[in-house]
Chains A and B, each alone.
Chain A
Amino acid sequence: MNMRWIVLSQAAMNEHPTPSASSGQALATKIQAWRRWGTLCLLAALALHAEARTRPHYGGTLRVEMEGDAWQQNVTQAGGLGGPMARRLIFDGLTRVDLDGTVRPSLAVRWTSENSDRRWQFWLRPGVHFQDGSPLNVAVVATSLTGSCGAACPWTAVRAVGSSVVFTSDSPMPNLPTLLAGDDFSIVHFASTGADAAPQPTPLLGSFVGTGAFEAVGFSSGVLTLMANDSCWEGRPFLDKIEVTGHKSIRDQWLDLSLGRADLVEVPAEQLRQAREQRLTVVVSGPASLLTLAVADGGVLSDANLRAAIALAVDRSSLSNVIFQKQGEITASLLPAALTGYGFLFPADRDVNKARELRGGLTPPALTISTDGGAQMQLASQRIALNLREAGFNVQVAPPGPVHHADMVLLRLTLASNQPQAALESLLRGVGVGSPVVEDTSAGLYKVEREFLQTHTLVPLLYLPRAYALGGRVRDLSLSADGMPLLADVSLQDAP
């Protein structure tokens, strides 16, 4: 530090005017030099007395804004574009996926598998209570898990055995601990409604409770209010309260952030560059969601060659460069290349001639493409439709809103884990392929991917990151493996 001081001092001294300069110029130069000297001194003093890092402060309210609906998008739906931000604060799963993608204990403290992963036993953490004070027990867990997936569960049966929950299946479930970390399998308990139950702020909010760090206590005027759970098994969170305001355009979110009216706002991938140009403090995840085109394998598209032609006709580069402003990672494989190392084996180049050749000169009836995403996804759909028309397909883009039938759907799938085997199974489950991925070597996973992608029912396009911009008082924000902000560990610098 002393050395820096000396260097700065010498630099400032070298700025002094020479005697040969005229007196007016000399005075101006002298003033300028002293200004620089003063600035350097100030900078040096600031550097010398920079503050050390402290423990996180308790207290304060974090204000989050998002484009979607704060309640619908967070709590009642596990998926969705905005992601289940609040859901993860209210509920816990038996396991969780840590920042490095490794499965960690959560409401289960340990687990074992038997019979080649066909039987799994998870032991519950003792002494955990739901936000309404009722204890976590195996019966509640089994009920919650059974209700979470119905007939599409990865297991055949789940039952309580002592202080543990046992899952059984006819086929191996090697990725069950990772799957149980997913939002679909959060442990939800319907709140007490007896005479001794605490009155709930609204019937909707009071209908279910979790064991997480925050409790939903109010939802009005589009603002979801979450209060710290003082008796959380992981310890009380640092924040007292989180307010999630929905239905805010990105422009309004950024404006509120700049005016100090919001602490955490969304940054869509295509606006990352703009956010940086505006000098926003941005936290960006790695590849978090897979933009993919699901192609129906029935009706007109029951011909595998037509589906293959569609896969070849899509121009990923234009999607990446134009629609997503070069923030996406082009992929033709399901798993990101960084996770596998074999992504290059799936060519992502467009080949319109080959697509036309595969189409065989036939012009199939009009196809529809839809998306349940926002404006950017709609733009991406239109771009894909344009690509397909160039290859001789007749494609219509369905207008925004719910679509009951479409030949192609543009969707985003969440990368749930950094463990390739579990991530692949999770992605496949996301498109309704329920068979477990038992292969755990790179060669085995490549084979699974190749065989699935050869059906051309899913065309991987881009891996997109998730990003958020932060206000100056937000501390210790990290993103989960799938790019969601981990708000339970966030604190505010200016908390009381």
Chain B
Amino acid sequence: MKRVGLVLLVANCLIGLAGLAAPAPSKWQGPAAELAEQVAGIVGPGQVRLTIRNASSISTDEIPKIRTLLEEDLKAHGVLTSGAESANAIRVTLSENTRERLWVAEVIEGNQRQVAMVHVEPEMVRQAQAGTGLTLRKQSVLTTKDPVLAALETGEGLVVVEPEEIVIYSHAAEGWREQKRVAIGQRKPLPRDPRGVIVPSRGGEGFEAFVAGMVCDGSYAKGTMDGGWTVRCREGDDPWQLSVPLSLQTAATKQSENIEVTPLKAFYNSSRDYFTGVLAPSLGADLPQFYTAAIVPRPAGSGSLAALLVNGIDGKVQLTETSVLKPVSGARDWGSDFAVLNTGCGAGAPVVASGSGEAIADSLRAYDLPAQEAIPASAPLAMDGTVMALWTAPDGKSVLAVVRTPANQGAANEYEVDRVVASCNE
């Protein structure tokens, strides 16, 4: 058995060495051959002077290789580049534009100049991510052309809150299949960046959704008409429920069997798109007006089970713990969305925050919050567009992000609901 294993190992090594010995095909081979063919078609067999100018981001180390390829390809078409005294000249410029590389050959015969061009596909540059304590990964849950404000996976389907409709998807072989749309029925115009929240109902089989000036309740009952879902929306300025991860509820219940976890709700100013700072029930501290809040489990011995992390409309990130508001440092790179993730990798639960950049492609990054300082706990996870919303899944083990991806020509933007999970680095 051991000998067989050894033989296989040697064979693998040999295959590997053989692979190393064979020269890999150069990425410039194709364009060089194409350009040489076009040039030969213009100049015909004979001797020419060849000059190459690099006006692109191609490394100068690559130029001799490109020159060799061009010379060989031209030679194959009967064009010899050794003619230093030849009246015919080929001036190749390795150029590029905003989309691709462009190789241009100017074929000069006396006073006449003709031009040949070939496109060279740009290389895909992938940057390795720095190794840190956690690795964030994302998986797509849903892609839709309609804007998504929030989504909730229940045992019976996926409920998506759109600016003007609640959409219910059911399981299907190919993924989620749209089952039902219910108009929310707003009478007031929406803000420019509408927001929404959806949380499971107390029983766990329904949901409660909040959008500006409206509250929707959904319930599921098996065996009823219309797929089992009943959704009712009404006008209301009820405070929006902040999501409490199930893990935290369980921890609270474990600590005292008599404890009942009261959902924390925040009053929302629908015309200005932020929370007013008034909570129900009150935490005892005067909270600022804020855009985002998340309930953060606190480490044992800190004197409290949880704290509330808020992102004020002035950009200050603060932690409300034991009725005291404390500033959080290290949050300068945060965007306006964050959510708590229960990774199971350590004692705490990191906060996943969107990036503060204004780039088309956003990123998410996990931060530990052991005291009042946010410390990066993962490398940034590049998203495929702009993060529009971020919240903790009901089980607390993942966060869900709505990402707006740039539209393709002739089509609208796409919205992707991504599940982001963390794995512990070995």
Contacts and interface: CB of A to CB of B under 8 A. Distances in A.
B85 interface: no
A235 interface: yes
A308 interface: no
B336 interface: yes
A275 B362 CA distance: 31
B314 A342 contact: no
A338 B98 contact: yes
A234 B190 CA distance: 9
Contacts of B271: 58
B171 interface: no
A388 to B, nearest CB: 26
Interface residues of B, number: 55
Contacts of A57: 272, 313
B119 A442 contact: yes
B58 to A, nearest CB: 13
Contacts of B373: 1-2, 48
Contacts of A109: 412
Contacts of A99: 360
Contacts of A236: 189-192
A interface, size bucket: 35 or more
Contact of A48 (B189, B192, B329): B329
B344 interface: no
Residue among A48, A52, A59, A236 facing the most chain B CB atoms (10 A cut-off) = A52
A489 B386 CA distance: 15
A55 B269 CA distance: 14
A53 B358 CA distance: 10
A418 B97 CA distance: 11
Interface in A397-454: 418, 420, 441-443, 446
Contacts of B193: 55-56, 235
B335 A53 contact: yes
Contact of B191 (A50, A58, A496): A58
A27 interface: no
Name the prevailing secondary structure of the A interface residues. loop
Nearest to A56: B193
Interface string B313-326: 11111000000000
Nearest to A108: B410
Interface string B95-107: 1111011101010
A52 B317 contact: yes
Given A55-B291, A177-B410, A476-B358, A230 B316 contact: no
B190 A102 contact: no
A235 B336 contact: no
Nearest to A113: B410
A109 B146 CA distance: 12
B332 to A, nearest CB: 4
29 contacts: A1-B373, A49-B329, A50-B332, A52-B316, A52-B317, A54-B336, A55-B291, A100-B406, A102-B407, A104-B412, A105-B407, A105-B410, A105-B412, A109-B412, A110-B412, A213-B192, A234-B192, A235-B189, A235-B191, A235-B193, A341-B102, A342-B102, A342-B104, A344-B55, A345-B104, A345-B106, A441-B117, A443-B117, A446-B117
Interface of B: 55, 93, 95-98, 100-102, 104, 106, 115-117, 119, 189-194, 271-274, 291, 311-317, 327, 329-336, 353, 356, 358, 360, 373, 406-413
